[in-house]
Amino acid sequence: MTAQDTFPPALQRIRADVRAMHAYHVQDSKGLLKMDTMENPYRLPAELQQKLGERLGALEINRYPGERLETLKKMLADYVGAPTGSAVLLGNGSDEIITLLALATAQPHIEGRAKMLAPMPGFVMYPMSAQLQGLDFVGVNLTADFDLDVPAMQAAIAAHKPAITYIAYPNNPTATLWDEDKVQAVIDAVAQIGGLVVMDEAYQPFASRSWIEPMRADPARNAHVLLMRTLSKFGLAGARLGYLVGPAVIVNEIDKVRPPYNISVLNCETAIFALENEALYAEQARAIRAERQPLIDALQALSGVHKVWPSEANMVLLRVADAGKAQAAMKARGVLVKNVSAMHPLLAQCLRLTVGTREENAQMLAALKESL
């Protein structure tokens, strides 16, 4: 009897590749300092908590979402500084937008499967989305120091002609913000084969630049570029609000595969409230950025840390002798971090740490020192 024969008959209706997959694992963080998922460590002040609670309590949650979604889109376009002729698409986090992009470009009715391409190591949702929506995924390795390999990207784009090319800017889990000229060379290569480029700026609050600037400065050269962001790292990870900005002629087509009412009135109003208090969140991002380099310096000084990479995000990647052992020992000391070794061969023995408050970083450093 094979393992397949042990499945109940109804389970056979679930796709075989889905049954073979592992679900996205969220570590149990109860009672631990959570430094594994790059969350903003700051809560709203009590006064703003009360005001937000009053706003949410007054909503008509018996009604479907309505015109406030258009208000939120306008606020996001203004916040980003969207070029003239842009449209905004809202998603339940950027994860849903990645799914919508794959759905809109899969084209299963034509000969040959559409392809999705991205530098690797990168965000795990890119290949997962490609698999689930019926695209072939093409990963192009970064260099050993996690730089963008432009010739390899150009060759892969010319050979595979991907429908979507993702560029995470900064990248996850490496925290790398690649040089603008290298990114533009990749974008130009995609233009030659008639594909879309999605600039994934999930960590934009912590980066020194954004691709929205080239999009505004040279709209013709970036006419096939879409900017994807999330409010998760902004400070609303629990609200699940992502958004896509780009030429209306493209965004409006992708919007056709979006489920109706995918953004709840609660998420929408929370995002509007956050944008009304943008200065507070900007100050929180500044505080996190201020702690990033001192954390990197302290990590580099630790015996047993083999390498620490520069960061333009609210995370730091480092290599140790045994990442699994170090992660387990840190957890035993009350600190949860991410072992990314299994994600890609280039990440062998690497840990990814969230940049938190000064006190959180000190506790994390102490646990790491004792765990090496």
Name residue, tokens 């879409």: 226
Is the model's pLDDT at 347 over the cut of 50? yes
**What mean pLDDT comes out for the span 268-286?**
96
- Check if the beta carbon of residue 367 is closer than 8 Å to that of residue 332: no
Measured between its terminal Cα atoms, the distance across the chain in Å is: 46
pLDDT tens digits, residue range 221-247?
Answer: 999 999 999 999 888 999 999 999 999
- Check if the beta carbon of residue 150 is closer than 8 Å to that of residue 182: yes
pLDDT tens digits, residue range 197-212?
Answer: 999 999 999 999 999 9
Cα–Cα distance for residue pair 320/304, rounded to 1 Å:
6
Is the model's pLDDT at 59 over the cut of 50? yes
Least confident of 24-38, 187-201, 310-324: 24-38
Is the model's pLDDT at 181 over the cut of 60? yes
Ordered by where they begin, the domains of the chain are: 16-46+279-371 (3.90.1150.10), 59-276 (3.40.640.10)
- Residue 28: its pLDDT value, please? 76
Name residue, tokens 């991002």: 285
The pairing of strands 164-168 and 115-120 is: parallel
Q: What is the DSSP letter of 232?
A: I
Phi-psi region of 308 (alpha: psi -120 to 50; beta: other; left: phi over 0): beta
Binned at pLDDT 50, 70 and 90, residue 1 comes out as very low
- Residue 338: its pLDDT value, please? 96
